[in-house]
Amino acid sequence: MSKTFICFGFSCYNEFSKQKREKSMINYFEKIANDKSIVERYEKIHEYEVTHGGHAHHDFNHVLNVATYCEKILKSLKFDDEFICEAKIAALLHDTGALQWKENHAQRSFEFAKKYFDENNIKLANKNLVLEAIKNHSEGFDTDNIIQLVLILADKIDLKKSRVSDAGKHVEGMRQCQYINDIQFEIEIGNFEINFVCDEKLNLEELNNYYFTKKVFKAIQAFSDKLSLTPKVCINNSPWQEFYNSTK
Ligand SMILES: [Fe+2]
Ligand SMILES: [Fe+2]
C-alpha cells in the first residue's frame, strides 16, 4: 500500500515538475518573442538588408515562420512541449547575428544567444543543443541533434516570397522564390510530404539550377533520414523531379 502510494506520489511529482518546466519554457518563448530588444534587432537587420542590397530577409517575420515550422514538424512527430519550445527558441534567435551582414552570422547568433540566456537567466534543459543548433544552422546537416536538424530544415524551406528583398528580385535563381506563395507540409505514417505552392510565373528550370535549392533538398533528406521518414516533395502537388534526381 505504502509502496503504491510512494510511486503514485513520485509520478505526480514528476508530472508536476514536467508541467512546471513546460510552462516556464513556453513563458521563455513568449518572453523572447515579445522582447523589444529582439524585435528591434530584427527590424535593424531588415533595414540593413534593404539599404545594403541583401537578397533574402533574415528578419522577424522569417524567424517566426521558422519557429512555426519547427513546432508543426516536431508536434507531428510527437516530441514533448518542452523540447518543441526549445527548438522554437533556437528558431527565434538563429539569425540575430545577421546584424553584421550574412557572412559568419551563425557564429555571431550563437554568441548573442549564449550571452542573452546568461543575462536573462534563461535556463533550458537542452541549452547546449539549442546553442549548437544556432551555431551550425547554415551547414550542419550531419548531426544527431534533432533541434539542429529541424532548425536547418525549417530555415531552408522558408523560401517564400516574403524572404525575397527588392534586390533579390533581380538575382538569378533567388528571384524565382518570389513566385513561391506557400509551403505546406504534413508528416503521417512515416511519410514527410512537402508541397511548394507556386505561381504560374515560376521558371522551374532556373529554380532547379539555383545553388540554394540543393541545400533545401539536402535539409529535407537529412531530416528524413534521421527520423526514418520517406520524403515526398512536390510543386503544386506534382512531384518535384529535381529533388528525386538530386537524392538518387
Ligand atoms: Fe541564418
Ligand atoms: Fe534563417
Residue among 33, 27, 24 at smallest CA distance from 90: 33
Residue labelled with grid coordinates 514528476: 14
Alpha-carbon dihedral 194, 83, 219, 156, rounded to 10 degrees: 80
3 CA to centre of ligand 2 in angstroms: 51
96 CA to centre of ligand 2 in angstroms: 9
95 CA to centre of ligand 2 in angstroms: 5
Q: Which pLDDT tens digits describe the chain residue by residue (248 residues)?
A: 334 344 445 555 566 666 666 666 668 899 999 999 999 999 999 999 899 888 889 999 999 999 999 999 999 999 999 999 999 999 999 999 998 778 899 999 999 999 999 999 999 999 999 999 999 999 989 999 999 999 999 999 999 999 999 999 999 999 999 999 999 999 998 999 999 999 999 999 999 999 999 999 999 999 999 999 999 999 999 999 999 998 76
Alpha-carbon dihedral 93, 96, 102, 106, rounded to 10 degrees: -50
155 CA to centre of ligand 2 in angstroms: 5
Angle of helix 211-226 versus helix 146-157 axis, rounded to 10: 150
Cα→Cα distances 190→26, 66, 160, 225, Å:
28, 22, 26, 11
100 CA to centre of ligand 2 in angstroms: 14
57 CA to centre of ligand 1 in angstroms: 10
Distance CA 190, CA 85 (A): 23
Supply the DSSP string of 43-98, one letter for each residue. Answer: HHHHHHHHHTT-SB--SHHHHHHHHHHHHHHHHHTT--HHHHHHHHHHHHHTTGGG
179 CA to centre of ligand 2 in angstroms: 19
**Domain boundaries along the sequence of the chain:** 19-246
Q: Would you report the helix, strand and coil content of the chain in percent, each value rounded to 5? A: 65, 10, 25
pTM (2 decimals)? 0.89
221 CA to centre of ligand 1 in angstroms: 19
Residues 6+ apart with CB under 8 A from 203: 176
For ion ligand 2, residues whose CB falls within 5 Å: 95, 155
Residue type, 130: V
Q: How far is CA 112 from the centre of its chain?
A: 18
84 CA to centre of ligand 2 in angstroms: 18
Look at residue 5 in the predicted model and tell me its pLDDT: 41
Look at residue 23 in the predicted model and tell me its pLDDT: 66
Look at residue 137 in the predicted model and tell me its pLDDT: 97
93 CA to centre of ligand 1 in angstroms: 10
Look at residue 103 in the predicted model and tell me its pLDDT: 86
The burial of 37, by beta-carbon neighbours within 10 Å (0-12 exposed, 13-18 middle, 19 or more buried), is given as exposed
Look at residue 54 in the predicted model and tell me its pLDDT: 85
Q: For residue 39, give the 3-state DSSP assignment.
A: helix
215 CA to centre of ligand 1 in angstroms: 13
Q: Which CATH number fits domain 19-246: 1.10.150, 1.10.3210, 1.10.10, 1.25.40?
A: 1.10.3210
Residue labelled with grid coordinates 510530404: 193
192 CA to centre of ligand 1 in angstroms: 23
